[in-house]
Amino acid sequence: AALPEAARATGHPGHTGHVAPVERAVAPFSVRMPVPKVLQPQSTKGDNDFYVVTAKKAKVEILPGTRTEVFTYAGMFPGPTLRVRTGRTAIVRHTNDLDMGTVAHVHGGCTPASSDGFPTDTLAPGKSRDYVYPNKQRAATLWYHDHAHHMEAEHVFRGLAGFYLIDDPAEAALRLPSGDYDIPIMLRDARFDDKARMVFEKDDFQGRTTILANGKPQPYFPVAARRYRLRFVNASNLRTFTLRLGKDTQVAQIASDGGLLAAPAAVRSWRMTPGERIEVVVDFSRFKVGSQVILNDAEVGPVMRFDVGRSATTDTSRVPDRLSTLPALPTATGKRKIVLSFDRTNGRFLINGREFDQKRVDTEIKLGTTEVWTVTNDSTNFAIPHNFHPHLVQFRVLDRNGRPPAPGEAGVKDTVAVGPGETVRLQATFGPYIGKYAYHCHMIDHSSSGMMAQMKIVA
Ligand code: C2O
Ligand code: CU
C-alpha cells in the first residue's frame, strides 16, 4: 500500500495544501450534536454488570436528509457509551451480526489478555462471546473499538467505536461538572460520495474532509452559561486535531488518556493524535448568553459550535487546584528501543524494521517490570507522523526530544504523538496480567498495514 503522491511530497496527512472537493455540501452548524446514549446493564449480580452489544449494519442519518449505511455497535453511530465504576467488573457479551470477523478492544483498558482483543482473536459472523473487564483502574475516558487483524481501519472508519467511561469515588468527590454538564465528544473525519455513502480507502487523508462530532457533521450544541466538562477523543484513522475554542479562550485541561492530571493545565489550544483523549473544563459563563462559540481545528477550521443559550441558575461545580495524585514512578530496570518507520520503496509501515506477524513475539517482559521505552519516528527515508499505543498499560511521558513534556502531556497516558524525527521516552510498569498484547501506531491505516507488534508478559 504505497502512499498517494501528495503524501510523498509532504509526508504529512492533511498538510498537503490541497483538499479533495466535498461531495455533498452540508451547511455548518445545521444539525445538533447528540450525546451517545449510556448502555444500561442487562443484569447485575454482586460486583458484576452484564451488558449486551450486537455489531450490525444500520442506516443512520449522518448528513441531513439522507441515510448512510454504517457498521454499528447496537445500531448506534457512534456506539452506545459504556459507563462503569472502578472495581466493578463489566461483562460485555458481543454478538457479531456483520458478515466479517470482528474483535472488540477497550482502548486504555487494563484487561486480561483473553478479553483484550488480540487482532487475531476473531469473533466470527453469527457468533457471540463474553469479554470481561475488571475495571481495576482509575477513573478515565476510554473508548472501545474494533481491532480485527488488517481490518481495524475500515471497521472503525465505518463506525465500530464508542465511549467507555470509568468513574471512581475520588474523582466524584472533586465536584467537577457532572450529569448533563459532562459531555463526551467523539471527533473524527470521514469521506462520503454524492450518494452519501461512506468511502473507505486506506491512507486517504486527503479525501476525508467531512468532520464529525458524535457522528454529525460540524454540529452545534446548546450549552448553559456555566461550567462544562468536555471529554474529547480523536477517533480519526489518521487526522490530528489541534483545537482551540472561540478566540483562543483559555480552558482548563483536567485529564489525559489515563484520567486526571495532578493539577489543571491552563491551555488555549490542545493537540490530539488518533486515539488520544483530552478532557477540558470550559466555563461558558464567560460568554454572553446568545453567543456562538466555535471549536476550531488549526487545519480544517470549524469542527462544531457551542451555542450559549441560557444562564444557569446555580453552578456548584468547580475545578480544584489539585486534581489527583499521579501513580508513583518506580525505578526502571529495563530499556527498549522502538523505531517507527515507513519504507517508501515498497510502501511498508514498520516497527523495528518489521511488519506485524501474529506468530512472532517481538518483546518479552517479565510481569511487574518497569521499563523505559525510547520511541523514535525515523524519518531519514521518509517523514510522516506516527503515534504509539501499547495495550494493557498506562505510561508516563518522561521527555520528548530530550525536553520535559508539556503539562497536558505529563499525566497518565496510553497513546502519544511521535512526529517525524521525534523521540519520546516513556515509562510503564508491565502488568498485572500475563499474556500477549499488541502495541502499534494508532494511525490505524498504518497499523492495519502492519505497523503493529506484540509483547508477551511472562510470569
Ligand atoms: Cu485503540 Cu490497539 O487500540
Ligand atoms: Cu503510523
Confidence of residue 18 (pLDDT cuts 50, 70, 90): very low
Arithmetic mean of pLDDT, 36-51: 98
pLDDT digits (tens, 9 = 90+) for 120-132: 999 999 999 999 9
**Digit-coded pLDDT (tens) for 346-358:** 989 999 999 999 9
Nearest CA to ligand 1 atom 3: 107
Mean pLDDT, rounded, for 10-36: 67
Centre of ligand 1 from the C-alpha of residue 50, in Å:
23
| pLDDT higher than 80, residue 3 | no
- Cα–Cα distance list, 381 to 2, 104, 151, 347, 351 (Å): 14, 35, 27, 12, 14
Ligand 1 centre from 152 Cα, in Å?
Answer: 9
Q: What is the mean pLDDT of the chain?
A: 94
- Secondary structure element (H or E) that encloses residue 432, with its range: none
Ligand 1 atom closest to Cα of 145?
Answer: 1
ipTM for the predicted complex? 0.98
Give domain 5-169's CATH superfamily.
Answer: Cupredoxins -  blue copper proteins (2.60.40.420)
Closest CA to ligand 1's atom 1? 107
Q: pLDDT class for 85, splitting at 50, 70, 90?
A: very high
**Confidence band, pLDDT 50/70/90 cuts, at residue 449:** very high
- Determine the distance separating the centroid of ligand 1 and the alpha carbon of 117, expressed in angstroms: 9
pLDDT class for 311, splitting at 50, 70, 90?
Answer: confident
- CA–CA separation, 443 vs 273, rounded Å? 8
CATH code, 334-458 = 2.60.40.420
Confidence at residue 23, expressed as pLDDT on a 0 to 100 scale: 54
Contact at 8 Å (CB) between 234 and 274?
yes
Which ligand number lies closest to the CA of residue 386?
Answer: 2
Residues touching ligand 1 (Cβ under 6 Å) are: 105, 107, 145, 147, 275, 389, 391, 438, 440, 442
**For residue 143, which atom of ligand 1 is closest to its CA?**
1
Lowest mean pLDDT among 44-48, 84-88, 190-194, 377-381: 377-381
The top-level CATH class assigned to 179-311 is mainly beta
pLDDT at 19: 46
Q: What is the dihedral of CA 419, 423, 428, 433, to 10 degrees?
A: 60
Mean pLDDT calculated for residue range 160-187: 98
Binning pLDDT at 50, 70 and 90, where does residue 24 land? low
The strand ranges marked E within 97-226 are: 104-107, 128-133, 140-146, 161-167, 182-190, 210-213, 216-217, 220-225
How far apart are the CA of 147 and the centre of ligand 1, in A? 7
Atom of ligand 1 nearest to the CA of 275: 1
Q: CA–CA separation, 216 vs 62, rounded Å?
A: 5
458 vs 380, more confident: 458
Q: Are 8 and 344 in contact (CB under 8 A)?
A: yes
Per domain, the residue ranges of the chain are 5-169, 179-311, 334-458
Between the CA of 321 and the centroid of ligand 1 the distance, in Å, is: 32
Q: Which helix (H) or strand (E) holds 299?
A: none
Under 8 Å between Cβ of 354 and 452: no
CA of 391 to the centre of ligand 1 (A): 7
Model confidence band, residue 310 (pLDDT cutoffs 50, 70, 90): confident
Topology alike, domains 5-169 and 179-311: yes
Stretch 144-157: mean pLDDT = 98
Percent of the chain at pLDDT exceeding 90: 91
Task: State in Å: Cα 365 to ligand 2 middle.
Answer: 24
**Can you give the pLDDT at residue 381?**
82
CA dihedral 407, 408, 410, 415 (to 10 degrees): -160
- Above 80 in pLDDT, residue 14? no
For residue 452, which atom of ligand 1 is closest to its CA?
2
Ligand nearest to the CA of 11: 2
Q: Are the beta carbons of 400 and 409 closer than 8 angstroms?
A: yes
Q: How far apart are CA 100 and CA 455, in angstroms?
A: 26
Is residue 17 scored above 70 in pLDDT? no
339 alpha carbon, closest ligand: 2
Q: Is 173 exposed, middle or buried (0-12, 13-18, 19+ CB in 10 A)?
A: exposed
Report which bound ligand comes closest to the CA of 383.
2
Q: Is residue 13 helix, strand or coil?
A: coil
Q: Which ligand is nearest to the CA of 450?
A: 2
pLDDT at 9 over 80: no
Spatial separation of the C-alpha atoms in residues 82 and 216, rounded to whole Å: 20
Alpha carbon of 396 to ligand 2 centroid (Å): 20
Mean pLDDT of 183-192: 98
Q: For residue 108, which atom of ligand 1 is closest to its CA?
A: 1
Tell me what pLDDT residue 308 has: 97
Q: Which atom of ligand 1 is nearest to the CA of 440?
A: 2
Q: Which atom of ligand 1 is nearest to the CA of 107?
A: 1
pLDDT surpassing 70 at residue 147:
yes
pLDDT at position 27: 92
* 212-224 pLDDT tens trace: 999 999 999 999 9
C-alpha cell at 306: 457551542
How far out from the chain centre does Cα 314 lie?
A: 33
CA 425, 428, 429 angle in degrees (round to 5)?
155
Per residue in 47-71, pLDDT tens? 999 999 999 999 999 999 999 999 9
pLDDT in tens, 347-406: 899 999 999 999 999 999 999 999 999 999 999 888 999 999 999 999 999 999 999 999
- The pLDDT score that the predictor gives to residue 108 is 98
* Distance of CA 164 from the midpoint of ligand 2 (Å): 24
Instruction: Write down the pLDDT at residue 313.
Output: 75
Q: How far is CA 302 from the centre of its chain?
A: 20
